[in-house]
Amino acid sequence: MRRRLVLMLAMAAGLVLCGALANYLLNPYGLWSTTLIDPVFRKPDDEHVALPYVIRSADLSTLLVGTSRMVFGMRIDSLAANGFVNAGIRAATLRESCAIVRAALANPHLKRIVWEIDFFQFKGGWDPPNREFYWRLRGGVGPPIVDTLLSLTALDSGIDDVRRMLLGRARLPASARSTVPWPPDEICRQYGAELGRGLVATPAPEIVREISVDMPNYRNYRFSESFWKLFRTTVERAQRRGVEVILFVPPMTEYELEVIRRTGGWDDFERWKRRLVTIGPVTDFSGYNRLARADEYYNDVMHHKTPIGESLLRILLGMPAPSCDGIGKNLRAAAIRLDARNIDGAIADQDRLMRAASAEDSRYGRLAARALEDQRARRAARRHATVLP
């Protein structure tokens, strides 16, 4: 019996060592120096697991930070390409975004941060715990061993990378094979392939569902002073370190703007922008501008399409934007570089556009109102259910 027990333990240890060796060789998160798998074939399933290791790469020069608008809007399947790392997190809290930036600042190769900032991230109370993510970001010996060597998730991800490698580069999406920032011709090709898809083809009932279920809760918005302090100190830390910080507010559909306005958050939205310029210039693509009604530019009521995000990045970096279908012209016309000198005039202009839109009986206003009414009805039903005997 003792020999059997020893044999079983030895077999278990052998399996663990084999799995750890396989993870080391496949290197799905790019932490180790092995090059068995070309990084172009990597496609991590969970950015919460992969990002803490990707941002430590010596290739990092530009960090892209933000919410799901960054994840999908400037999508990099392998998270890293040509020195750019997409560190966006789906439903990212402000604390998560700041933690990513602070961890990346420890990388001496970091030169620039392009930070997509969302109004909903500054709402007080919206800070779900994510202890494992912060544990990984803090570094040390434990997280890399557990996540990259002893993890079945890492092994599954590595095996998927092998499958993509065996199929060859030709089977990868063109965007995965392209350089970053993406060339205008490639952006135009992607945009043409997606014409007629997304929000422009979404029926009204589905739009109402997306607004009422998927959109952040702007009702009873309360600005968090602690979140603001964290954001400001993080940006200032990066600037002191000599890292360029490019802040921008992404394009927003008129559906989302109508929800903000109809839930009483418009004044808070404007005060938030006034706060942002106290840190430095901010490029603002939001507001009741031509992008708000360009349904062809969005996948849904929240997220712009990847070619639009790729074009935004080129504009933010001072590079020529694609000219197909007027993308570059429309984005540049909507972009406002806010600073302390022009913020009053910019807010006044946005107020004027808001009032003109609110006076109109538009599809955006009607569907937003219907979605908010659906939310109220569901809340009333839940309250009624809790008082039933």
What is the rounded average pLDDT of the residues 245-249? Answer: 98
Tens of pLDDT along 171-201? 888 767 889 999 999 999 999 999 999 999 9
Euclidean distance between CA atoms 241 and 116, whole angstroms: 20
- pLDDT digit string (tens) for 274-325? 999 999 999 999 999 999 999 999 999 999 999 999 999 999 999 999 999 9
Task: Give the pLDDT confidence of 78-137 residue by residue, as tens digits.
Answer: 999 999 999 999 989 999 999 999 999 999 999 999 999 999 999 998 888 888 999 999
CA gap 368, 254 in Å, rounded:
9
Q: Which residue has the higher pLDDT, 92 or 378?
A: 92
**Per mean pLDDT, which range of 33-37, 117-121, 202-206, 234-238 is the poorest?**
33-37
Exposed, middle or buried, 232 (CB in 10 Å: 0-12/13-18/19+)? Answer: middle
So where are the chain's domains? 1-179, 181-220+249-274+285-305+325-389
Instruction: Report pLDDT for 380.
Output: 82
pLDDT of amino acid 30: 86
**Strands 80-81 and 62-65, bridge-based pairing:** unpaired
pLDDT band of 389, cuts 50, 70, 90: low
Q: What is the DSSP string of 265-325?
A: -HHHHHHHHHHHTTTS-EEE--SSSTTTT-GGGBSSSS-B-HHHHHHHHHHHTTPPPP-GG
For range 154-159, the mean pLDDT: 93
Which amino acid would we find at residue 22? A
Residue 25 pLDDT more than 80?
yes
Top-ranked range on mean pLDDT: pick from 23-37, 51-65, 97-111? 97-111
